[in-house]
């Protein structure tokens, strides 16, 4: 008999350990990549974050404080919508540039549970066209605006759910309810418009 027939075909223990180590490293790399991808996907699809809410409140507060009385663009408000005159800005190369007077409309779409901002320039308002829309917040359960004023007859300060006066209210209150991923959270902020009234 030759020596070749005595050799058994198979893998040695060292070969098996090397292959097992390589398969483990490749499996770990695949698992890490998929795990990170799933975390990023969950982060993108998560409920409204507190930072997004804070950015919204800062933005609308700045815009409301800079509103003014304008004869053809009235300040109007309903329970789920607010519209007011504003200086619109166009994106510039280094900083935003003022593009003229227009109207800002914030409204809550109950069907999609979104807060939407619409910018209409003066030309779009005159023609009755819709403006540029931007989705600000998603997965909002409720959003309500109310308007603060002084009632001359009763000599009291009151909150109204609808604003149809020819002048600016003293303040705007925004009540927002959203799901933070664990529970429903309510935030209420009041925005003082006394600066806007002093310019009007």
pLDDT digits (tens, 9 = 90+) for 105-130: 999 999 999 999 999 988 888 888 88
- Residue 196 is predicted with a pLDDT of 62
Lowest mean pLDDT among 83-87, 97-101, 122-126, 186-190: 97-101
Confirm whether 11 is domain-assigned: no
Question: How many domains, the chain?
Answer: 1
Confirm whether 66 is domain-assigned: yes
With pLDDT > 90 as the criterion, what percentage of the chain qualifies?
A: 44
Residue 96 has pLDDT above 60, yes or no: no
Lowest mean pLDDT among 14-18, 26-30, 181-185: 181-185
Band the pLDDT of 68: cuts 50, 70, 90: confident
Confirm whether 4 is domain-assigned: no
With pLDDT > 70 as the criterion, what percentage of the chain qualifies?
A: 86
Confirm whether 78 is domain-assigned: yes
Band the pLDDT of 197: cuts 50, 70, 90: low
Confirm whether 67 is domain-assigned: yes
Confirm whether 81 is domain-assigned: yes
| Average confidence score pLDDT of the chain | 85
Contact 196, 60 (CB under 8 A): no
Sheet holding 132-137, edge to edge: 76-77, 81-90, 97-109, 114-121, 132-137
SS3 99: strand
Residue 97 has pLDDT above 70, yes or no: no
- Residue 109 is predicted with a pLDDT of 93
Confirm whether 34 is domain-assigned: no
Phi/psi-derived region of residue 29, left when phi > 0, alpha when psi is between -120 and 50, beta in every other case: alpha
SS3 169: coil
Lowest mean pLDDT among 41-50, 100-109, 118-127: 41-50
159 backbone dihedrals φ, ψ, rounded to 5°: -105, 130
- Residue 38 is predicted with a pLDDT of 87
**Containing domain of residue 140, as a range?**
50-199
């Amino acid at each position: 008999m030759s020596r070749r027939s005595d050799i058994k075909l198979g893998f040695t223990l060292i070969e098996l350990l090397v292959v097992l180590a390589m398969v483990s490293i490749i499996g770990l790399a695949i698992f890490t990549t998929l795990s990170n991808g799933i975390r990023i996907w969950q982060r993108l699809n998560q409920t409204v974050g507190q930072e997004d809410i804070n950015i919204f409140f800062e933005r609308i507060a700045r815009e409301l404080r800079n509103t003014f009385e304008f004869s053809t663009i009235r300040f109007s408000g309903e329970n789920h919508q607010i519209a007011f005159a504003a200086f619109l800005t166009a994106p510039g190369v280094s900083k935003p540039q003022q593009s003229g007077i227009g109207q800002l409309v914030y409204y809550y779409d109950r069907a999609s549970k979104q807060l939407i901002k619409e910018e209409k320039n003066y030309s779009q308002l005159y023609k009755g066209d819709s403006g540029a829309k931007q989705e600000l917040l998603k997965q909002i359960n409720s959003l309500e605006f109310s308007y603060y004023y002084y009632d001359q007859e009763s000599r009291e300060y009151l909150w109204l759910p609808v604003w149809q006066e020819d002048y600016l209210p003293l303040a705007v209150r925004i009540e927002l309810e959203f799901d933070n991923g664990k529970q429903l959270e309510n935030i209420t902020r009041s925005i003082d418009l006394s600066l806007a009234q002093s310019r009007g």
